[in-house]
Amino acid sequence: MRTIRHKFNARPVDIDGYRFPSKKEGKYYLGLKIRQEMGAVLFFLRQVGFHLPGGVKYVVDFVEFHADGSVHFIDVKGRRLPAYVAKKKQVEALYPITIEER
């Protein structure tokens, strides 16, 4: 079987039956589960899409619903590439949210 390398050398990881494109994102997921068990996070969603003009879709890694009533949109990034920065700005201009980077 041929191993496909990610263009940025990220190493995918499988946790709880989910495939994460990087160890960093998998580690964030595990921390999120702990915060959920502690009660700080009520629940969270993975891979939530936002539709942009021109048939483009932007997917945020996590949407977290906190016990204090706040909602956080999280992207776990190793690199901030120009295409990501442009799409992030477009999402934030079209939707009333702020995307946080980890």
Q: HEC profile for the chain? A: CCCCCCCCCCCCEEECCEEECCHHHHHHHHHHHHHHHHCCEEEEEEEEEEEEHHHEEEEEEEEEEECCCCEEEEECCCCCCHHHHHHHHHHHHHCCCCEEEC
pLDDT, tens only, 26-76: 999 999 999 999 999 999 999 999 999 999 999 999 999 999 999 999 999
Instruction: Write the pLDDT tens digit of every residue in 66-92.
Output: 999 999 999 999 889 999 999 999 999
Q: What is the pTM of this model?
A: 0.88
Enumerate domains of the chain plus CATH numbers.
13-101 (3.40.1350)
